[in-house]
Chain A
Amino acid sequence: MNRASLFWIAAAIVLALLPPVASALAQPFYIDLVRRVMILAIAATSLNLILGYGGMVSFGHAAYLGIGAYAVGILAFYGVTNGWAQWAVAIGASALVAAAIGAISLRTSGLYFIMITLAFTQMLYYLGLSLDAFGGDDGMRLKARSRFPALDLADPVQSYYVALVLMLLAVFLVHRIVNSRFGMALRAAKSNDARTRALGISPYPYRLVAFVIAGALCGLAGALYANHANYIAPSYMSWIQSGDLMFMVILGGMASRAGPVLGAFALLLVEEVLKGWTEHWQAILGPLLVLSVIFFRRGLAGIFYKPDA
């Protein structure tokens, strides 16, 4: 067995053991915290597909987190609580919006791409702010959580395991994608656009499909997040959230399987520790992030193994 699969088995066991241990120690707070981390790890994993493997620096990935969450919230508002239907809409709507945004944005590259993805997400953010029927800038409580047979997402432990399973599946899915023929083409286009074209592969459709897959996966994370928080708010789509997702990927290590998950845990746990110390935790987190960008170039995953691509 190689080191990577050992790592994942160990991680899955530790995470699976957390709820009983936390319950036994009467610390349910940690179940909530780690569940949130795992959901955002799914979002970061989806971003890694385009940012790490595809070289597309999207500064607006939080858009799909918001779309997924709003899909669940709005459907629940109108009485549709069937989980399958809600999550399908969350994923489908995110994919559609990603297709539209990607189709335009991918015509540009470099800095322009960063800015235009940011701009589109700002548009959706302001749209969320103005949706007074759904809480406007305050956001809105879910009327009910997504309903699945034999599953109660209002139960913290059950929803914890749902998040855990989906996170592992997301990591596996992205791993399979980047090692397929499709993923090879995507990574080739990242490392050398001209040579990829010379091989007879036009990068644009590959990039666009990857962009849509990443959006759809992040939409799933959004649906989970709405259920986790029992709340939807425009702040899910804020540029700060987009920046946080990017940080998770970079901190963990771009284009590595474990990177986004490690990054999500590192960033959010450090945040939590700092919040425990002082209300001005961002004054410490900011410089830490700057230092990590300047000095910690390969990310956390680079400690364990060499990132591919």
Chain B
Amino acid sequence: MPVALIFEQLLNGLQYGVMLFLMAAGLTLVLGIMNMVNLAHGSLYMLGAYFAVAATQWTGSYAAGVLAGFAGALLVGMLVEVIALRALYERDHLDQVLATFGLILFFNELVSMVWGRGSLYASIPKWLQGHVQLFGGSTYPVYRLAVLAVGLAVALVLWYVVQRTRVGMLVRAGASNRAMVAALGVNIRLLYTFVFGFGAALAGLAGLMAGPIYAVQPGMGDLILIQVLVVIVIGGIGSIRGALVGAVIVGVVDTLGRAFLKPLLATMISAPAAEAAGPALASMLIYLLMAAVLALKPAGLFQGR
């Protein structure tokens, strides 16, 4: 197998991994601090993508699209938190799962009412089009490299905010003991809304960057949501470091599995059997990985709560 091809798929996997991380970071913070499962996080990803496409088409400016996707997801996220999710913080995970499942149905249908059931085309600005040379004569799209860079930059900023700022300190304190932080005079409600909005904005960012790579269509958030849940569970609930490691593992394993599992199987079993088993096994791979991790470490790699 050519090394350049493997390298290219590895980059794809990393790029998908950072996208998963953008989703997972917000979700795991909400889980860790508020002990709240928010399945509608995938809907915010979808809304980010749609807002960006709509704003870009309307104004003709990519920057406006980015702003709309980011700010739109932030606003919707905060709105949803205030209207619906606040009532659920004290409930068990079952109620949270069900209520946010209802929100998914709503948002998927809302999007198809406004923009139709078909998929939309998301454009890439001129300066991000084109390819760069990799070694061995192969090329790689600039856009995907940009996504990778943005994801890594966000991870760095997130690390700085959480570890080095006052807000980050409150976030960490809230994760370990909510009641104590509230007793010390911190407005924990406000902190919740802030964290939630921040997570929503990151999901919107992931969605608007995913637009040009994958299809912008109703329900686009569902599949990535389930994969993000896998990421969080593998990494350990509430751990940002776990989310990063989990996201990279899942992104790379999923991408490499889809690319190389079929040819790899073909060298071991008959070609028609590999043709049938390869794609099935590739889409099951990350779930197998998660089951294996949980069977060995029931609270994830980084021992979440």
Contacts and interface: CB of A to CB of B under 8 A. Distances in A.
Interface of A: 51, 57, 59, 104-105, 107-112, 114-116, 118-120, 122-123, 126-127, 129-132, 239, 243, 246-247, 250, 280-283, 285-290, 293-294
A-side interface mostly: helix
A132 B276 contact: yes
A221 to B, nearest CB: 21
Contacts of A287: 102, 106
B295 A107 contact: yes
A109 B88 CA distance: 20
Given A116-B294, A290-B84, A126 B103 contact: no
A109 B294 CA distance: 10
B230 interface: yes
B134 interface: no
Interface stretch (B90-98, B147-155, B183-191): B90-98
B38 to A, nearest CB: 12
A119 B230 contact: yes
Nearest to B289: A119
B109 interface: yes
Interface stretch (B61-69, B162-170, B278-286): B278-286
B106 A283 contact: yes
Contacts of B79: none
Given A107-B294, A107-B298, A280-B112, A119 B287 contact: yes
Interface in B130-180: none
A13 to B, nearest CB: 32
Given A110-B93, A286-B102, A280 B290 contact: no
Interface string B72-113: 000000000000100110010111011101111111111011
A107 B297 CA distance: 10
Interface residues of B, number: 46
B88 A294 contact: yes
Contact of A122 (B103, B277, B287): B287
26 contacts: A51-B94, A57-B94, A107-B294, A107-B295, A108-B298, A114-B37, A114-B94, A116-B291, A119-B226, A122-B284, A122-B287, A123-B287, A243-B101, A246-B94, A246-B97, A247-B98, A250-B98, A280-B113, A285-B105, A286-B104, A287-B102, A288-B102, A289-B102, A293-B98, A294-B84, A294-B99
A104 B298 CA distance: 10
Contacts of B113: 280, 283
A116 B284 contact: no
Q: Which 3 A-B residue pairs are closest in the complex by CB-CB distance?
A: A286-B106, A289-B102, A130-B280
B288 interface: yes
Given A112-B299, A115-B233, A282-B109, A104 B37 contact: no
A120 B98 contact: no
B30 interface: no
A287 B284 CA distance: 32
B46 interface: no
B93, B97, B279, B295: most-surrounded residue (chain A CB, <10 A): B97
A112 B298 contact: yes
Contacts of B105: 282-283, 285-286, 289
A217 B163 CA distance: 50
Contacts of B99: 289-290, 293-294
B112 A115 contact: no
B247 interface: no
B156 to A, nearest CB: 28
Contacts of A280: 109, 112-113
A122 B224 CA distance: 12
B287 A120 contact: yes
